Amino acid sequence: MNVEAYLKAGKIASKVREDARKKYHVGSTLLQVCEDAEAQIREMGAEPAFPVNASLNEIAAHYTAEPNDETPVKEGDVLKIDIGVHVEGYIADTAVTVCYDPKYDQMVKAAEAALAEAVRMAKVGTKASDIGRAIENIISRMGYRPIQNLSGHSLQQYTIHAGKSIPNIWTLGSSFTLQAGEAYAIEPFATTRDGAGVVHEGKVKNIFGITSRKPTKDDDADELLNTIWSRYKSLPFALRWLTDAYDVPRLRRLTDVLIKKKNVHAYPILVEGREKIVVQAEHTLIPADGGSTVITL
């Protein structure tokens, strides 16, 4: 692994997250929220590892702005801003919840307290299942529910979800231990006591990623596939990132071809099972003996 690249990605991700935390987003559109953060990543000399996620209220994750998205952030909203930065493919993944309804301030604190404890525990040899148990305990003790089917994950170069999951609940059965030389994102999500504590896939899909480069026999679709590959490889992308080269109707039509041919996967938004408010906190760390380097601190 390239520790220098991880540290640079982490420093930028952290700065972008903290600026997003301080900003007053009410009155902004989700397009502005996403594009401002992405522009800042690029100005600082890195690239987004995925489109900035700006997921409102009962949407837990995986919403990014559509081209010309005019959805406003309103008073009373709870907005998760999830930021990925990569330097040479080494990814820092971090998130903040901005809360414009004081009713949910404590729930945001619960997710952050759970993350702080998870980070404190994380070192070479820590069992992922122990982290999950700690996250669940803290969120439950503070009066909320963890989202049980969302989890943290190992990261590899150019791969955001690299195969190992760090649960947000106590789970029975086999687990793994954190190792040196591997990066992990830890991301507690919480909802209210009356929530389902699980998310399901919604209808909206606005984050995409290449899964196969096999030619489609449609020249226009193949050209789009090549453009996407040259820019983003297999990392996730948004249609608004391609509007410099394609008008939106044509882009949507060709993307649909690539989805049907299974060259591109469309990621659905993830919605709380009883449509209750969801909050999130996230850091990326590299374990060491006796502690870990939190690259997004």
Clarify whether 244 is annotated catalytic: no
Q: Of the ranges 137-145, 189-197, 257-265, 278-286, which one interacts with Mn ion (CB under 5 A)? A: 278-286
Catalytic residue selected from 58, 93, 136, 222: 93
Catalytic residue selected from 82, 112, 136, 272: 82
Residue 82 interacting with Mn ion (CB under 5 A) = yes
Residue 14 interacting with Mn ion (CB under 5 A) = no
Residue 80 interacting with Mn ion (CB under 5 A) = no
For the chain, the farthest-separated pair of C-alpha atoms sits apart, in whole angstroms, at: 57
In this chain, which of 93, 112, 222, 272 binds Mn ion, going by CB under 5 A?
93
Nearest CA-CA partner of 80 in 58, 69, 94, 96: 96
In this chain, which of 81, 110, 185, 294 binds Mn ion, going by CB under 5 A?
185
Residue 228 interacting with Mn ion (CB under 5 A) = no
Q: Of the ranges 68-76, 167-175, 178-186, 236-244, which one interacts with Mn ion (CB under 5 A)? A: 178-186
Report the C-alpha gap between 240 and 67 in whole angstroms: 5
Clarify whether 82 is annotated catalytic: yes
Clarify whether 153 is annotated catalytic: yes
Catalytic residue selected from 38, 69, 136, 187: 187
> Which of residues 47 and 187 has its CB atom nearest to Mn ion in the complex?
187
Which residue is listed with tokens 């999500």? Answer: 189
Residue 294 interacting with Mn ion (CB under 5 A) = no
Clarify whether 93 is annotated catalytic: yes
Clarify whether 187 is annotated catalytic: yes
Sign of CA dihedral 153, 41, 37, 121: positive
Give the up-direction half-sphere exposure of residue 52: CA atoms within 13 A in the CB hemisphere: 27
Clarify whether 265 is annotated catalytic: no
Nearest CA-CA partner of 121 in 295, 297, 285: 285
Residue 92 interacting with Mn ion (CB under 5 A) = no
On whether the CB atoms of residues 192 and 107 are closer than 8 A, the answer is yes
CB atoms inside a 10 Å sphere around CB 247: 9
Nearest CA-CA partner of 4 in 51, 52, 46, 43: 46
Neighbour-count burial of 156, counting CB atoms closer than 10 A to its CB (0-12 exposed, 13-18 middle, 19+ buried): middle
> Which of residues 5 and 183 has its CB atom nearest to Mn ion in the complex?
183
Residue 186 interacting with Mn ion (CB under 5 A) = no
Q: Which residues are catalytic?
A: 82, 93, 153, 161, 187, 282
Q: Which residues contribute to the site for Mn ion (CB under 5 A)?
A: 82, 93, 95, 185, 187, 282
